Homo-oligomer: A and B are copies of this chain.
Amino acid sequence: MKAKITVTPKKAVLDPQGKTVQTALEHIGFTGIKDVRIGKYIEIELEGTDREAALKSISQASHKILSNPVIEDYSVEIE
């Protein structure tokens, strides 16, 4: 199994990276960009086949270690 976790800065929280990249994209000619947010993408290769259990444990891990709940949100997908 593979777990895919995306971690993104919370909406209300400043995302300096996103802002800077947005400006850079505009500068090199990409138009029509309203907003850029930059987060993390984590892929975890798991043993076993119990997807339910995996979802539960990975969600827990996301909350505890993979994300910083004070400033970030996360979402988990098991594949």
Contact = CB atoms under 8 A, between A and B. Distances in A.
A25 interface: yes
Contacts of A33: 44-47
A61 B30 contact: yes
A74 B75 CA distance: 19
A36 interface: yes
A43 B39 contact: yes
Nearest to A43: B37
Given A25-B44, A39-B43, 7 more contacts: A6-B41, A30-B57, A32-B46, A32-B48, A33-B47, A34-B47, A39-B40
Interface of A: 6-8, 18, 21, 24-25, 28, 30, 32-48, 57, 61, 64-66
